[in-house]
Amino acid sequence: MLFSSAIFLFLYLPIFLVIYYVIPRDWRNAFLFFASLVFYAWGETLVVLVLLLSAFINFVAGRLIEQGQRKTGLLLSLIGSLSLLVYYKYANFLFNSLQGIAKLLMIPGADEINLAEIALPIGISFYTFQGISYTLDIYWGHIRANRNFLDYGTYVAMFPHQIAGPIVRYADIAPELTKRTVTIEKFGIGAERFIIGLAKKILMANTFAGVADVIFSAPTTSYSTATAWLGIIFYALQIYYDFSGYSDMAIGLGKMLGFDFKENFNYPYIAHSVQDFWRRWHISLSSWFRDYLYIPLGGNRKSRVRVYGNLLLVFFITGLWHGASWNFIVWGLYHGLFLLIERAGLSKLLVRVWAPVAHVYTLLVVLIGWVFFRIENLPDAINYLQKMIGLGPVVTVEAFAPSYFINVETVVVLILGILLATPIHNRFHQWWMRRAPYFPVRLVSDSLYTFGLLALFVTTIMYLAADTYNPFIYFRF
């Protein structure tokens, strides 16, 4: 079940909210846990048992660590959680990779062995990392283990952050699991955030996806260099508005239930270096790798060679986390390589040069990287990159010239997409609050904003009803 689906918006969510606020507060965790399992099982059926098993393993591991069996508990968490992740997400990838190597070596019978496709439980990467961070925080003495499986299970299974993040750490919401309040104001802020996230997904991301998917699925002989650039720009905007839209919806739903999730995106496309990009993009993931992998490996305290090796390892795993395919590994190592180059001295140069130059450099690096992220077949990705620099196959019949995609809708959405990927809205809001300090003016502006928000919601629903194209690009997690 997706947040942007009609069944969630008009059936699941209204019924859930009514029951959630009618029942006594002491029952809310139990209801949230049960409702989250229903939400997860709606499309996953019995695979929900994987989530429950992962939660149980880390709950038991946390109790063992706190009771003094520290290494036993930590090993149980790491081996148990990662075994589930490797089996369900990476078994087919590892088998196919080894089989490919065996075929290259011409090992007899290599192509006679087959492995059935293993269904990937949605969200397994998220709840695996949440469970590991929970036990590591207990091991390091940052938090106490939860003694109530219902409360811990609610944290793991909670549907707002289940399928697309952000990665919520137990320490960040532990107090709210036992005691939380929701005011009308907080509920309203959450509803506002959810509507904005939904609009990002339906109005922006889906529109960008419609163009990007056509270009990326077409042969490179059917479009020009300009169209190739148009495709990757639209895809870059698609993936940003898709993922940040889901994060906004998750944060909004959390507030509506009394939880405060941390921000997951901070205008990554205004970054002036690759390092800056990763401070702004998928913040919950990059900070997780920093705190639970990079720093334990030694962080910046080791020799330069060791630091560079640790960075490459982190970004190798970052790529692999995004999907079980070589193109994701290449994408991760590609970003890791530019981080090494910046650490080697480029970052000092980027600070001194004219800011737009640093910004263009970062955008070019990120856009080229998205080609590897989008195209699973590496030779096809190379062909696309060649097309971007004018070295690709000669265009025989230009079926997809840039003008093919230009209409009022795409132009308007493209302009809005570029503008809203910057903090222009926040700066305008701050400017307006300084210029409209008096109550009557503020009342009128707030009323107009509320009306505009409702109009945005209605428009989004109309688009959702009129268009069945509703892709979810983070299904690999």
Question: 358-406, pLDDT tens digit by residue?
Answer: 999 999 999 999 999 999 999 999 999 999 998 877 777 777 888 888 8
User: What would the two tokens of residue 225 be?
Assistant: 């260099």
* 93 plus 220 within the same structural domain: no
Whether residues 166 and 309 fall in one domain: no
Give the rounded distance of the alpha carbon of 137 from its chain centre.
23
| Segment 275-284, tens digit of pLDDT | 999 999 999 9
Summarize pLDDT for 250-269 with one digit per residue, the tens.
999 999 999 999 999 999 99
474 located within any domain: no
For the cut 60, the answer to whether the pLDDT of residue 474 exceeds it is no
pLDDT of 148 higher than 50: yes
- Give the per-residue pLDDT at 468: 55
Average pLDDT over residues 86-105: 87
Does residue 458 lie within any of the structural domains? no
- Choose the weakest-confidence range: 92-101, 224-233, 253-262: 92-101
Q: What is the DSSP string of 3-48?
A: TTSHHIIIIIHHHHHHHHHHS-GGGHHHHHHHHHHHHHHHHHGGGH
Number of domains in the chain: 2
Of the listed ranges 140-154, 348-362, 417-431, the one predicted with least confidence: 417-431
Which has the higher per-residue pLDDT, 373 or 116? Answer: 373
Residue 200: name the closest of 363, 407, 416, 422 by CA: 416
**Residue 143 above 60 pLDDT?**
yes
Q: Which residues contact 121 (CB under 8 A, 6 or more apart)?
A: 44, 47, 50, 51, 88
Closest CA to 463 of 287, 80, 201, 283: 201
What Rg do the C-alpha atoms of the chain give, in angstroms?
A: 24
The amino acid sitting at 67 is Q
Angle at the Cα of 28 (from 53 to 165), degrees rounded to 5?
55
State the pLDDT at residue 103.
Answer: 76
Distance CA 83, CA 85 (A): 5
Q: How far apart are CA 246 and CA 161, in angstroms?
A: 9
Q: Is the pLDDT of residue 243 over 70?
A: yes
- Give the span between the Cα atoms of 273 and 164, in whole angstroms: 26
* 41 touches 21 (CB < 8 A): no
> Is it the case that residue 110 has pLDDT exceeding 80?
no
| Domain termination site, one of 358, 393, 409 | 409
pLDDT at 440: 65
In a domain, 155, yes or no: yes
Is residue 258 in a domain? Answer: yes
pLDDT at 447: 79
Do 380 and 252 lie in one domain? The reply is yes
Determine, yes or no, domain membership for 460: no
pLDDT at 221: 87
Q: Give, in order, the Cα–Cα distances in Å from 258 to each of 25, 177, 399.
A: 11, 9, 52
Domain boundary among 386, 409, 432: 409
Do 75 and 163 lie in one domain? The reply is yes
Backbone angles phi, psi at 129, to 5 degrees: -65, -35
Arithmetic mean of pLDDT, 208-216: 94
Q: For the segment 442-451, what is each residue's pLDDT rounded down to a tens digit?
A: 667 777 888 8
Counting Cβ atoms within 10 Å, is residue 445 exposed (0-12), middle (13-18) or buried (19+)?
A: middle
Q: Distance (Å, rounded) from C-alpha 197 to C-alpha 241?
A: 8
Is residue 331 in a domain? yes
Establish if 469 belongs to a structural domain.
no
Phi then psi for residue 205, to 5 deg, are: -60, -45
Same domain, 240 and 167: no
Tell me: pLDDT of 109 over 80.
no
**Where does a domain end: 409, 425, 446?**
409
337: Cβ contacts below 8 Å, ≥ 6 apart? 312
Can you tell me the distance from the alpha carbon of 90 to that of 320, in angstroms, rounded to the nearest whole number? 9
Q: Are residues 18 and 166 in the same domain?
A: yes
- Same domain, residue pair 197 and 176: no
Measured in degrees and rounded to the nearest 5, phi and psi for residue 475 equal -65, -20
pLDDT score for 445? 73
User: What is the span of the domain harbouring residue 265?
Assistant: 186-409
Instruction: Work out the average pLDDT over 16-24.
Output: 95
How far apart (Å, rounded) are the C-alpha atoms in residues 321 and 315? Answer: 9
What is the DSSP secondary-structure string of 394-423? PPSS-SS-HHHH-SHHHHHHHHHHHHHTTT
Same-domain pairing of 13 and 125 = yes
Residue 475 confidence (pLDDT): 44
My answer on whether 101 and 48 are in the same domain is yes
Task: Work out the average pLDDT over 152-174.
Answer: 91
Question: Pick the residue with more confidence: 107 or 251?
Answer: 251
Query: In this structure, are 24 and 67 located in the same domain?
Result: yes
Length of the chain: 477
pTM above 0.75, yes or no: yes
Per-residue pLDDT at 185 exceeds 50:
yes
Q: Which amino acid is at 189?
A: I
Q: Highest-confidence range of 256-270, 299-313, 445-459, by mean pLDDT?
A: 256-270
- What does the pLDDT read at residue 253? 96
Catalytic residues, which ones?
Answer: 322
In the numeric block, the tokens 């993009």 are attached to 281
pLDDT confidence bin for 85, thresholds 50/70/90: very high
**Average pLDDT of the residues in 87-101:** 89
Shared-domain flag, residues 17 and 63: yes
The answer to whether residue 142 sits within a structural domain is yes
Q: Which residue has the tokens 């509920």?
A: 187
- Residue 95 shares a structural domain with residue 217: no
Give me the percent of the chain exceeding a pLDDT of 70. Answer: 95
Cβ-based neighbours of 252, under 8 Å, separated by 6 or more: 189, 190, 191, 192, 193, 194, 195, 196, 197
Amino acid at 338: F
Res. 133: pLDDT tops 90: yes
Q: Are 241 and 376 in contact (CB under 8 A)?
A: no
Q: Lowest mean pLDDT of 102-106, 113-117, 161-165, name the range.
A: 102-106
* Confidence band for 465, pLDDT divided at 50, 70 and 90: confident
